[in-house]
Amino acid sequence: MADVLELLLRVGCVFVAFLVLPLLVGQTEHKVMAHMQGRLGPMYAGGFHGWAQLVADGVKFAQKEDIVPANADRRVFQLAPVLALIPYLVALVAIPLAPGLVGAELETGLFFVLAVMGIGVLGSLMGGWASANKYSLLGAFRSAGQLLAYELPFVLAAASVAMAAGTLSLTGIVEAWQPWWLLWQLPGMLVFFVAGLAELHRPPFDMPVADAEIIFGPYTEYTGIRFALFLLAEYAGIVVLAALTTVLFLGGWHGPFSDALGWLWTLLKAFAVAFVVIWVRVAYPRLRSDQLQRLGWQVLVPLALVQLALTGVVSVVIS
Amino acid sequence: MNGMAQPDNASYYATYTTVLTVILVGVAFAAAAFGANRLLRPTRPTREKLLTYESGVDPVGEGWAQTHVRYYVFAYLYVVFAVDAIYLFPWATVFAAPGFGWVTLVEMFVFLGFIAVGLLYAWRKGVLTWT
């Protein structure tokens, strides 16, 4: 009975985090982007600085008519948003906030999270293909092309941390972390973060959804609740990427008073990373698909390989 | 297993029970969202509404158009490298453990060297430019 209760508590906490954190990031994006661009952003919904804007959006989405184009591959079209969303929920299970404060303590947590995150992109591929729309198809092809550019440096940079810590357990990695790793793993962190942005189709790597060129890429034909799930997937993805960057490279719960406030440090660092994700969106123009391939294969992959070599030599020297 | 404690089967299954439960919760969440939407939404389909969107013009031809996939060579490269990358993980956790050290590291450098030479070859052959 106690086991069942603990299971429900863990699953419940993960689910609540999955519902609340993306909304927080989304609202932060509304306000931060607005102020960076000399606007106010949403000010009406909820009274205080438009805090309930995303709740209002959610209510609107839930009431909207569900339109599946007559030419679309109906079943695949309808299922695509679910496949895009669930991987990020599942990835959250393995990410620890503090020692013991984690959905599931997986021995191979890092490997698990990387594997699960790789599934998310299938949602936009399915949606893009099943829409039977030329814009969507182009968007899906761009997604697929983008996948080839970012996935390898993403995995290699993560492998570098696993080498440094000597474990694949995310909790183990944070426990092995030392402040000087910030410098040692810096190239890996940059590669990981940039590749992660590309994985999430965030600007400046948002060519799969480039609204000025191909309407909204794979999501062109989507509306209502299915569109909302795709959007939620994007923001849940930011949460996962920020939390993972924190856990792998920024020392997770390490900080003053980490015995009592470790979880707060993890959350604060993750939000700082999420802020950078938003900042980058405002600061940089969109790259072309071929420019991303060049960046991926001629900068990120070599840099990740150099980081692997550096990690290997330093690890053996100090051990 | 280099002194790493093997988790006993009970706790192993317990952690993955959590993972499985979360997947089920995710599916239930999606089902609930679609169910609520079904109850709340209007349904007034018209021919124009169900038409494929092509910037307001009647669609020409069909959506599954042929395109020139310009990055298929990248796809080959990617598959080769991704399989290589998988081999890194089991090695990464043990190479600095007692009894491994420099020899293991050099072996990995040989492996990474092969990858790097492969990448360099592709680069020099001009594969890494958009055709």
**What architecture is the B9-124 domain classified under in CATH?**
Up-down Bundle (1.20)
Instruction: Choose the closest CB to B109 out of A133, A224, A309.
Output: A309
Chain B hits for A163, CB-CB cut-off 8 Å, are 92-93, 95-96
A105 lies within 8 A of chain B by CB? yes
Give the model's pLDDT for residue A235.
Answer: 93
By C-alpha distance, which of A12, A16, A244 is closest to A117? A244
- Distance in angstroms (rounded) separating the CA atoms of residues A74 and A4: 38
Say yes or no for a CB contact (<8 Å) between A82 and B64: no
ipTM score here?
0.84
Q: What share of chain B has pLDDT > 90, as a percent?
A: 8
Chain B hits for A133, CB-CB cut-off 8 Å, are 52-54, 63
- Distance in angstroms (rounded) separating the CA atoms of residues A113 and A266: 17
Amino acid found at A188: G
Asked if A306 and A300 touch (Cβ cutoff 8 Å), the reply is no
- Tell me which residues of chain A have a pLDDT lower than 50: none
> Measured at the alpha carbon of residue A195, what is the angle toward residues A115 and A237, in degrees to the nearest 5?
60
- Asked if the model's pLDDT at residue B126 lies above 80, the reply is no
Q: How confident is residue B105, by pLDDT bands cut at 50, 70 and 90?
A: confident
Q: How many angstroms from the chain centroid is the CA of residue A284?
A: 19
Give the model's pLDDT for residue A238.
Answer: 94
| For residues B15-32, average pLDDT | 90
Cα torsion through B52, A206, A79, A215, rounded to 10: -10
Residue where the block lists tokens 């863990």: A10
Give the model's pLDDT for residue A278.
Answer: 93
Q: What is the mean pLDDT of chain B?
A: 78
Mind telling me how many Å the CA of B124 is from chain A's nearest CA? 11
Partners of A98 in the beta sheet? Answer: A101
Residue of B nearest to A6 (CA): B18
| For residues B89-108, average pLDDT | 78
Q: How confident is residue B109, by pLDDT bands cut at 50, 70 and 90?
A: confident
> Measured at the alpha carbon of residue A142, what is the angle toward residues A58 and A111, in degrees to the nearest 5?
75
Give the model's pLDDT for residue B6.
Answer: 52
In chain B, domain spans: 9-124
Coil, helix or strand at residue B46? coil
pTM of the model: 0.89
Say yes or no for a CB contact (<8 Å) between B54 and A156: no
